[in-house]
Structure 1
Amino acid sequence: MARTEHFHNPDAPMPNSIVVAVTVFVRDDHDRVLLIRRTDNGLWALPGGAQDFGEYIADTAVRETREEAGVIIEVVGLVGIYTNPNHLVEFSDGEVRQQFSICFRGRYVSGELGTSSETSAAQWVERAHLDEIAIHPSMRLRIDHGFEDRPEPYIG
């Protein structure tokens, strides 16, 4: 399913859903961040996705990281909660979702990088190389906040 990101776009369609979703900021021993390349829009992003029924939200973070990037992580903290009403995601099936994402901080436990039907690549990326790849501004905000090691999570 194709997706279009609307960010501060006055011509964006009206939202018709809000879905509880997560992203996960994980660094390796070389201070690189784990990123995946999405198959639905080609952009680089933190691993993540929607919570399933019967699932704790931290378990969603672990599951989505394993599914999208092939690695096992444990949740060790919170980067922030991102609810910008000016960030809408329009899907080809007619859903227009207002952003609601909890960004967790994860710790790499094990596993080798891999891909899935939702990801065409997974890799550890140095902070200095982030400007060289296509990342949506709202995702870049989460990545920047993750690298900042803020004492309190971002709420916005």
Structure 2
Amino acid sequence: MPRRDYVDDPNAPKANSLVPAASVVVVDEAGRVLLQRRTDNGMWALPGGAMDIGESLAGCGIRETREETGIDIEVTGIVGTYTDPRHVFAYDDGEVRQEFSVCLLARPLGGTLRVSDESHEVAWFTPAETDGLPMVANVRKRLTDWRSGAVPAVR
């Protein structure tokens, strides 16, 4: 389902949904981060998605990473909490979702890189290589927070 991201846009539609979600910064032994190029907006992003009833936040991050990238992970920490009401996702079905995401930190355990129906490309990048990639500002914020090593205030 295609989506459009709005960040600090006065013309953004009003949110009508709030869904808990996890995103995941997966870092391998070489210090590279796992990203996917999304089919719905063409931007590079962290793996992640909406939490299902009956699953934990860590379980959500593990499931979404496996589904979207083919990589199995172990959650090792939290990068931050992101709940910016000025960042909304508008979907073709009329849902306009306010951001509510806890960004987890993880390490890969195994698996094989692969695309999914949600991604055109999946790849590992050094932190410096992520600087030139097209991505939504709030995804870049998560990477910046991870790279700084500081746990940000709740946003």
TM-score in terms of structure 1 length = 0.96
Report what 1:102 is aligned to.
102
Report what 1:72 is aligned to.
72
1:4-83 alignment to 2 at 5 Å?
4-83=4-83
Q: Please give the alpha-carbon distance, in whole angstroms, between the structure 1 residues aligned to 2:72 and 2:148.
A: 23
Report what 2:154 is aligned to.
155
Offset of residue 105 of structure 1: 0.4
Amino acid at match of 1:24: V
What 5-or-longer segments of structure 2 have no aligned partner?
none
What 5-or-longer segments of structure 1 have no aligned partner?
none
Q: Secondary structure at the match of 1:155?
A: coil
1:114-153 alignment to 2 at 5 Å?
114-150=114-150, 152-153=151-152
Q: Please give the alpha-carbon distance, in whole angstroms, between the structure 2 residues aligned to 1:154 and 1:25.
A: 17
Q: Please give the alpha-carbon distance, in whole angstroms, between the structure 2 residues aligned to 1:153 and 1:59.
A: 23
Amino acid at match of 1:38: R
Residues 78 and 153 of structure 1 are in contact (CA less than 8 Å); yes or no, is this contact kept in structure 2?
Answer: no
Offset of residue 154 of structure 1: 3.8
Q: Please give the alpha-carbon distance, in whole angstroms, between the structure 1 residues aligned to 2:115 and 2:24.
A: 16
Offset of residue 153 of structure 1: 4.8
Taking only aligned residues, the RMSD between alpha carbons, in angstroms, comes to 1.0
Paired-residue identity, %? 45
| Consecutive aligned runs of 4 or more in structure 1 exceeding 3 Å deviation | none
Deviation per CA, 1:78-107, whole angstroms, max 9, x where unpaired?
000000110011001100011000000011
